[in-house]
Structure 1
Amino acid sequence: MKINAFADVSLRALMVLAAAPEGGLLTTQNVADAVGTPYNHVSKAVAKLRMLGLIDVERGRNGGSRLSAAGRRVTVGQVLRELDTREDAAECIGPAGSCPLINECRLRGALARAREAFYRELDDVVVAELPTSRQMTPVFEAIGLRPGA
Protein backbone atom coordinates (compact mmCIF):
# COMPACT_ATOMS: atom_id res chain seq x y z
CA MET A 1 0.00 0.00 0.00
CA LYS A 2 1.34 3.41 -0.89
CA ILE A 3 0.41 6.59 0.96
CA ASN A 4 0.03 9.89 -0.83
CA ALA A 5 2.77 12.54 -0.70
CA PHE A 6 0.68 14.89 1.45
CA ALA A 7 0.15 12.21 4.11
CA ASP A 8 3.86 11.38 4.02
CA VAL A 9 4.88 15.02 4.60
CA SER A 10 2.26 15.40 7.32
CA LEU A 11 3.44 12.30 9.19
CA ARG A 12 7.06 13.42 8.97
CA ALA A 13 6.10 16.89 10.25
CA LEU A 14 4.28 15.32 13.19
CA MET A 15 7.34 13.20 13.98
CA VAL A 16 9.63 16.24 13.98
CA LEU A 17 7.23 18.17 16.21
CA ALA A 18 6.97 15.16 18.53
CA ALA A 19 10.77 15.14 18.91
CA ALA A 20 10.97 18.85 19.70
CA PRO A 21 11.70 19.76 23.30
CA GLU A 22 8.61 19.74 25.54
CA GLY A 23 6.75 22.99 25.04
CA GLY A 24 9.19 24.14 22.35
CA LEU A 25 7.97 25.73 19.16
CA LEU A 26 9.31 24.94 15.70
CA THR A 27 8.73 27.21 12.75
CA THR A 28 7.32 25.82 9.54
CA GLN A 29 10.71 26.52 7.96
CA ASN A 30 12.42 24.47 10.71
CA VAL A 31 10.06 21.58 10.01
CA ALA A 32 10.53 21.89 6.23
CA ASP A 33 14.31 21.83 6.64
CA ALA A 34 14.13 18.86 9.02
CA VAL A 35 12.02 16.74 6.67
CA GLY A 36 13.78 17.87 3.49
CA THR A 37 10.59 19.10 1.86
CA PRO A 38 9.78 22.48 0.29
CA TYR A 39 8.30 25.08 2.64
CA ASN A 40 5.08 25.41 0.63
CA HIS A 41 4.30 21.69 1.00
CA VAL A 42 5.02 21.71 4.73
CA SER A 43 3.01 24.89 5.18
CA LYS A 44 -0.06 23.19 3.70
CA ALA A 45 0.51 20.14 5.91
CA VAL A 46 0.85 22.34 9.02
CA ALA A 47 -2.39 24.12 8.14
CA LYS A 48 -4.24 20.80 7.76
CA LEU A 49 -2.74 19.36 10.96
CA ARG A 50 -3.84 22.48 12.82
CA MET A 51 -7.35 22.17 11.37
CA LEU A 52 -7.44 18.55 12.59
CA GLY A 53 -6.42 19.70 16.08
CA LEU A 54 -3.15 17.74 16.03
CA ILE A 55 -0.90 20.77 16.42
CA ASP A 56 -1.12 24.13 18.14
CA VAL A 57 0.22 27.17 16.33
CA GLU A 58 1.39 30.43 17.87
CA ARG A 59 1.73 33.33 15.50
CA GLY A 60 4.20 36.16 15.73
CA ARG A 61 7.90 36.73 15.84
CA ASN A 62 8.56 33.97 18.38
CA GLY A 63 5.78 31.74 17.09
CA GLY A 64 5.78 28.26 15.71
CA SER A 65 4.06 24.91 16.06
CA ARG A 66 3.95 22.18 18.66
CA LEU A 67 1.99 18.98 19.03
CA SER A 68 -1.34 19.37 20.79
CA ALA A 69 -2.55 16.89 23.39
CA ALA A 70 -4.50 15.13 20.61
CA GLY A 71 -1.36 15.12 18.44
CA ARG A 72 0.53 13.29 21.17
CA ARG A 73 -2.08 10.50 21.09
CA VAL A 74 -2.90 10.22 17.39
CA THR A 75 -2.02 7.02 15.57
CA VAL A 76 -0.63 6.59 12.09
CA GLY A 77 -3.84 4.83 11.05
CA GLN A 78 -5.97 7.77 12.22
CA VAL A 79 -3.81 10.30 10.37
CA LEU A 80 -3.85 8.30 7.15
CA ARG A 81 -7.62 7.95 7.22
CA GLU A 82 -7.94 11.74 7.52
CA LEU A 83 -5.40 12.57 4.83
CA ASP A 84 -6.02 9.90 2.21
CA THR A 85 -8.77 11.53 0.18
CA ARG A 86 -8.86 8.97 -2.63
CA GLU A 87 -12.24 7.34 -3.00
CA ASP A 88 -10.82 4.28 -4.75
CA ALA A 89 -7.59 2.43 -4.07
CA ALA A 90 -7.47 1.88 -7.83
CA GLU A 91 -8.19 4.36 -10.60
CA CYS A 92 -11.70 3.11 -11.23
CA ILE A 93 -12.91 6.56 -12.18
CA GLY A 94 -10.38 8.80 -13.91
CA PRO A 95 -10.15 11.77 -16.24
CA ALA A 96 -10.78 9.51 -19.23
CA GLY A 97 -13.97 8.11 -17.65
CA SER A 98 -14.89 5.04 -15.70
CA CYS A 99 -13.37 1.62 -16.05
CA PRO A 100 -15.62 -0.49 -18.28
CA LEU A 101 -15.57 -3.21 -15.61
CA ILE A 102 -16.80 -0.92 -12.81
CA ASN A 103 -20.34 -2.29 -12.61
CA GLU A 104 -20.51 -4.88 -9.85
CA CYS A 105 -16.72 -4.91 -9.58
CA ARG A 106 -15.53 -7.09 -6.73
CA LEU A 107 -11.96 -5.84 -7.05
CA ARG A 108 -12.93 -2.36 -5.76
CA GLY A 109 -14.39 -3.89 -2.61
CA ALA A 110 -11.37 -6.12 -2.07
CA LEU A 111 -9.01 -3.15 -2.46
CA ALA A 112 -11.09 -1.04 -0.05
CA ARG A 113 -10.94 -3.83 2.54
CA ALA A 114 -7.18 -4.16 2.03
CA ARG A 115 -6.70 -0.42 2.54
CA GLU A 116 -8.73 -0.52 5.76
CA ALA A 117 -6.69 -3.52 6.96
CA PHE A 118 -3.54 -1.50 6.26
CA TYR A 119 -4.86 1.42 8.34
CA ARG A 120 -6.08 -0.90 11.09
CA GLU A 121 -2.59 -2.36 11.39
CA LEU A 122 -1.30 1.18 11.95
CA ASP A 123 -3.94 2.04 14.56
CA ASP A 124 -1.62 0.80 17.31
CA VAL A 125 1.31 2.98 16.17
CA VAL A 126 1.28 6.32 17.99
CA VAL A 127 3.03 8.93 15.83
CA ALA A 128 4.61 10.71 18.82
CA GLU A 129 6.30 7.46 19.90
CA LEU A 130 8.05 6.95 16.55
CA PRO A 131 10.98 9.42 16.64
CA THR A 132 14.01 8.48 18.69
CA SER A 133 16.74 10.71 20.07
CA ARG A 134 19.32 8.85 18.00
CA GLN A 135 17.27 9.50 14.85
CA MET A 136 16.39 13.13 15.55
CA THR A 137 19.59 14.52 17.08
CA PRO A 138 21.46 14.67 13.74
CA VAL A 139 18.35 16.08 12.04
CA PHE A 140 18.05 18.93 14.53
CA GLU A 141 21.80 19.57 14.46
CA ALA A 142 21.75 19.73 10.65
CA ILE A 143 19.19 22.52 10.71
CA GLY A 144 20.96 24.43 13.48
CA LEU A 145 18.75 23.49 16.42
CA ARG A 146 20.00 22.03 19.64
CA PRO A 147 18.11 18.82 20.37
CA GLY A 148 16.64 18.69 23.84
CA ALA A 149 17.11 22.42 24.36
Structure 2
Amino acid sequence: MKINAFADVSLRAVMVLAAAPEGALLTTQAVADAVGTPYNHVSKALAKLRELGLIAVERGRNGGSQLTASGRRATVGQLLRQLDSRQDPAECQSANGDCPLITECALRHAMGRAREAFYRELDPVVISSLPHARQMAPVFRSIGLRPDFPVPTPGR
Protein backbone atom coordinates (compact mmCIF):
# COMPACT_ATOMS: atom_id res chain seq x y z
CA MET A 1 0.00 0.00 0.00
CA LYS A 2 1.30 3.42 -0.86
CA ILE A 3 0.69 6.53 1.23
CA ASN A 4 0.24 9.92 -0.38
CA ALA A 5 2.98 12.55 -0.42
CA PHE A 6 1.18 14.74 2.12
CA ALA A 7 1.01 11.89 4.64
CA ASP A 8 4.68 11.12 4.02
CA VAL A 9 5.75 14.71 4.72
CA SER A 10 3.51 14.84 7.79
CA LEU A 11 4.99 11.64 9.24
CA ARG A 12 8.54 12.86 8.66
CA ALA A 13 7.72 16.23 10.28
CA VAL A 14 6.32 14.49 13.38
CA MET A 15 9.45 12.33 13.60
CA VAL A 16 11.71 15.40 13.48
CA LEU A 17 9.63 17.21 16.09
CA ALA A 18 9.62 14.08 18.28
CA ALA A 19 13.41 13.89 18.21
CA ALA A 20 13.95 17.60 18.92
CA PRO A 21 15.39 18.49 22.31
CA GLU A 22 12.79 18.90 25.07
CA GLY A 23 11.18 22.34 24.86
CA ALA A 24 12.80 23.20 21.52
CA LEU A 25 10.63 25.05 19.04
CA LEU A 26 11.48 24.25 15.45
CA THR A 27 10.63 26.71 12.72
CA THR A 28 8.82 25.54 9.63
CA GLN A 29 11.98 26.23 7.65
CA ALA A 30 14.06 24.08 10.01
CA VAL A 31 11.59 21.20 9.68
CA ALA A 32 11.53 21.63 5.89
CA ASP A 33 15.33 21.52 5.78
CA ALA A 34 15.41 18.51 8.10
CA VAL A 35 13.01 16.46 5.98
CA GLY A 36 14.33 17.70 2.63
CA THR A 37 10.96 18.99 1.47
CA PRO A 38 9.92 22.42 0.17
CA TYR A 39 8.77 24.94 2.77
CA ASN A 40 5.25 25.26 1.31
CA HIS A 41 4.60 21.51 1.61
CA VAL A 42 5.87 21.37 5.17
CA SER A 43 3.88 24.48 6.09
CA LYS A 44 0.65 22.79 4.95
CA ALA A 45 1.57 19.59 6.79
CA LEU A 46 2.27 21.48 10.02
CA ALA A 47 -1.02 23.37 9.69
CA LYS A 48 -2.88 20.07 9.43
CA LEU A 49 -0.94 18.55 12.35
CA ARG A 50 -1.87 21.60 14.42
CA GLU A 51 -5.52 21.24 13.41
CA LEU A 52 -5.36 17.60 14.56
CA GLY A 53 -3.92 18.69 17.92
CA LEU A 54 -0.63 16.88 17.42
CA ILE A 55 1.58 19.97 17.48
CA ALA A 56 1.52 23.31 19.24
CA VAL A 57 2.68 26.40 17.41
CA GLU A 58 4.07 29.58 18.94
CA ARG A 59 4.12 32.55 16.65
CA GLY A 60 6.64 35.34 16.63
CA ARG A 61 10.34 35.88 16.30
CA ASN A 62 11.29 33.04 18.65
CA GLY A 63 8.34 30.86 17.71
CA GLY A 64 8.11 27.45 16.16
CA SER A 65 6.41 24.09 16.52
CA GLN A 66 6.67 21.28 19.03
CA LEU A 67 4.76 18.08 19.67
CA THR A 68 1.86 18.07 22.10
CA ALA A 69 1.26 15.20 24.51
CA SER A 70 -1.22 13.81 21.95
CA GLY A 71 1.45 14.09 19.27
CA ARG A 72 3.86 12.06 21.38
CA ARG A 73 1.24 9.29 21.72
CA ALA A 74 0.04 9.33 18.09
CA THR A 75 0.51 6.17 16.07
CA VAL A 76 1.30 5.81 12.40
CA GLY A 77 -2.04 4.09 11.76
CA GLN A 78 -4.04 6.81 13.52
CA LEU A 79 -2.30 9.60 11.63
CA LEU A 80 -2.57 7.93 8.24
CA ARG A 81 -6.30 7.41 8.70
CA GLN A 82 -6.71 11.12 9.40
CA LEU A 83 -4.56 12.18 6.45
CA ASP A 84 -5.86 9.75 3.83
CA SER A 85 -8.04 11.87 1.59
CA ARG A 86 -8.86 9.08 -0.87
CA GLN A 87 -12.45 8.02 -0.45
CA ASP A 88 -12.12 5.19 -2.92
CA PRO A 89 -8.95 3.05 -2.67
CA ALA A 90 -9.56 1.40 -6.06
CA GLU A 91 -10.47 4.70 -7.79
CA CYS A 92 -13.73 3.24 -9.01
CA GLN A 93 -15.14 6.73 -9.21
CA SER A 94 -13.24 9.41 -11.08
CA ALA A 95 -13.67 12.67 -12.93
CA ASN A 96 -13.41 10.67 -16.18
CA GLY A 97 -16.40 8.56 -15.28
CA ASP A 98 -17.25 5.70 -12.99
CA CYS A 99 -16.12 2.15 -13.64
CA PRO A 100 -18.92 0.24 -15.36
CA LEU A 101 -18.39 -2.62 -12.87
CA ILE A 102 -18.93 -0.46 -9.77
CA THR A 103 -22.35 -1.89 -8.87
CA GLU A 104 -21.85 -4.50 -6.14
CA CYS A 105 -18.12 -4.71 -6.88
CA ALA A 106 -16.31 -7.16 -4.60
CA LEU A 107 -12.89 -5.73 -5.54
CA ARG A 108 -13.78 -2.29 -4.21
CA HIS A 109 -14.84 -3.72 -0.85
CA ALA A 110 -11.75 -5.96 -0.68
CA MET A 111 -9.50 -2.95 -1.34
CA GLY A 112 -11.21 -1.05 1.49
CA ARG A 113 -10.62 -3.97 3.87
CA ALA A 114 -6.98 -4.20 2.74
CA ARG A 115 -6.45 -0.50 3.43
CA GLU A 116 -7.91 -0.88 6.94
CA ALA A 117 -5.68 -3.94 7.55
CA PHE A 118 -2.68 -1.81 6.51
CA TYR A 119 -3.62 0.86 9.05
CA ARG A 120 -4.34 -1.72 11.75
CA GLU A 121 -0.84 -3.11 11.32
CA LEU A 122 0.54 0.40 11.92
CA ASP A 123 -1.71 1.20 14.89
CA PRO A 124 0.77 -0.04 17.53
CA VAL A 125 3.68 1.97 16.03
CA VAL A 126 4.04 5.20 18.02
CA ILE A 127 5.55 7.82 15.71
CA SER A 128 7.63 9.48 18.45
CA SER A 129 9.38 6.14 19.13
CA LEU A 130 10.72 5.89 15.58
CA PRO A 131 13.57 8.44 15.42
CA HIS A 132 16.89 7.46 16.97
CA ALA A 133 20.13 9.27 17.73
CA ARG A 134 22.24 7.89 14.88
CA GLN A 135 19.54 8.86 12.39
CA MET A 136 18.73 12.30 13.79
CA ALA A 137 22.12 13.65 14.92
CA PRO A 138 23.31 14.51 11.39
CA VAL A 139 19.90 15.94 10.52
CA PHE A 140 19.93 18.24 13.53
CA ARG A 141 23.53 19.29 12.89
CA SER A 142 22.53 20.22 9.32
CA ILE A 143 19.88 22.63 10.65
CA GLY A 144 22.09 24.02 13.41
CA LEU A 145 20.55 22.21 16.37
CA ARG A 146 22.41 20.30 19.00
CA PRO A 147 20.46 17.19 19.89
CA ASP A 148 20.03 16.39 23.58
CA PHE A 149 20.69 12.71 23.06
CA PRO A 150 24.17 11.16 23.02
CA VAL A 151 25.60 10.87 19.55
CA PRO A 152 27.18 7.43 19.00
CA THR A 153 30.87 7.41 18.27
CA PRO A 154 31.77 5.48 15.09
CA GLY A 155 33.50 2.19 15.85
CA ARG A 156 31.99 1.73 19.32
State TM-score, norm by structure 1: 0.98
One-letter amino acid of the structure 1 residue matched with residue 127 of structure 2: V
The residue that corresponds to 2:42 in the other structure is 42
Please state how far the C-alpha of 1:148 moved relative to its aligned partner.
1.7
Amino acid at match of 1:101: L
Q: Does residue 23 of structure 2 align to residue 23 of structure 1?
A: yes
- Residue number in structure 2 paired with 1:53: 53
- Aligned positions of 1:51-90 closer than 5 A: 51-90=51-90
- 1:100 deviates by 0.7
Q: Match of 2:71, as an amino acid?
A: G
Tell me by how many angstroms 1:72 deviates.
Answer: 0.3
* 2:33 partner amino acid: D
d(CA) in 1 for partners of 2:142 and 2:63? 21
2:123 aligns to what SS in structure 1?
Answer: helix
d(CA) in 1 for partners of 2:109, 2:132 = 38
Give the Å deviation of 1:143: 1.9
Identity of counterpart residues, as a percentage?
Answer: 76
Structure 2 letter corresponding to 1:115 = R
How many aligned positions are there?
149
The superposition leaves residues 53-104 of structure 1 with CA deviations (integer Å, 9 ceiling, x where unpaired) of 0000000000000000000000000000000010111111111110011011
SS at match of 1:94: coil
Specify the alignment match of 1:141 in structure 2.
Answer: 141
Distance, in Å, in 2 between the alignment partners of 1:141 and 1:68 is 24
Which residue of 1 is the match for residue 110 of structure 2? 110
Deviation string 1:89-124 (CA, Å, 9 cap, x unpaired) is 111111111001101100010000000000000000
Query: Which secondary structure state, in structure 1, belongs to the residue aligned with residue 57 of structure 2?
Result: strand
Q: CA RMSD in A?
A: 0.9
Please state whether the residue corresponding to 1:124 is helix, strand or coil.
coil
Following TM superposition, the consecutive aligned residue runs of length 4 or more in structure 1 with deviations greater than 4 angstroms are none
Unaligned runs of 5+ in 2: 150-156
Match of 1:121 in 2: 121
Report the counterpart of residue 99 of structure 2 in structure 1: 99
Rounded Cα–Cα distance in structure 2 between residues aligned with 1:64 and 1:131: 20
Scaled by the length of structure 2, the TM-score of the pair is 0.94
Q: Structure 1: how far apart are the matches of 2:25 and 2:142?
A: 17
Structure 1: 5+ residue stretches without partners? none
Q: CA deviation at 1:145?
A: 1.7
Equivalent residue number for residue 132 of structure 2: 132
